[in-house]
């Protein structure tokens, strides 16, 4: 019999694999739909939270309030400070990580623990 641990590792690997193949970010629902096996939302969120803690993934909150996840690309220790821009397309609703970065200002007396940059518009695929 397969142990619970093996199944969890398998699910984690599947999530990692799905995120590594996508060109855009994915919501928990998108990931569930892309999974070859049946997984519930709680499990997916648990996996994503864990990945986020370890610095494997980061997320951006879209216009609809949903979290969109993407694999992290050499984030380093201060993993929660992501200075790259995310673009949300009003047409296809895709949220993508953009290579463009923003300078994070030093806010006198404030401690920045997390940053999210979202830009909304029409993507190059939807622009006619």
Binding site as annotated, residues: 89, 92, 123, 126
In the bound complex, what is the minimum distance in angstroms from residue 114's beta carbon to Zn ion? 10
Cite the annotated binding site for Zn(2+) by residue number: 89, 92, 123, 126
In the bound complex, what is the minimum distance in angstroms from residue 26's beta carbon to Zn ion? 11
Question: Do the beta carbons of residue 29 and residue 67 sit within 8 Å?
Answer: no
Cα–Cα dist 15/45, whole Å: 11
In the bound complex, what is the minimum distance in angstroms from residue 89's beta carbon to Zn ion? 3
Residues in the chain: 128
Residues that bind Zn ion (CB under 5 A): 58, 70, 72, 75, 79, 89, 91-92, 97, 123, 126
Nearer to Zn ion, 43 or 51 (CB): 51
Nearer to Zn ion, 99 or 109 (CB): 99
In the chain, DSSP assigns E strands to 57-61, 67-71, 84-89, 95-101, 118-121
> Cα–Cα–Cα angle for 89, 84, 15, nearest 5°?
75
């Amino acid at each position: 019999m397969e142990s619970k641990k093996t199944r969890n590792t398998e699910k984690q690997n599947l999530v990692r694999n799905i995120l590594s193949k996508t060109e855009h970010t994915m919501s928990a629902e998108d990931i569930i739909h892309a999974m070859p096996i049946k997984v519930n939302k709680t499990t997916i969120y648990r996996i994503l939270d864990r990945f986020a803690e370890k610095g494997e993934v980061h997320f951006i909150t879209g216009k609809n309030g949903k979290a969109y996840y993407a694999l992290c690309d050499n984030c380093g220790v201060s993993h929660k400070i992501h200075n790259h821009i995310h673009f949300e397309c009003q047409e296809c609703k895709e949220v993508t990580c953009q290579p463009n970065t923003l300078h994070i200002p030093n806010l006198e007396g404030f401690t920045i623990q997390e940053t999210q940059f979202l830009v909304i518009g029409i993507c190059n695929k939807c622009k006619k």
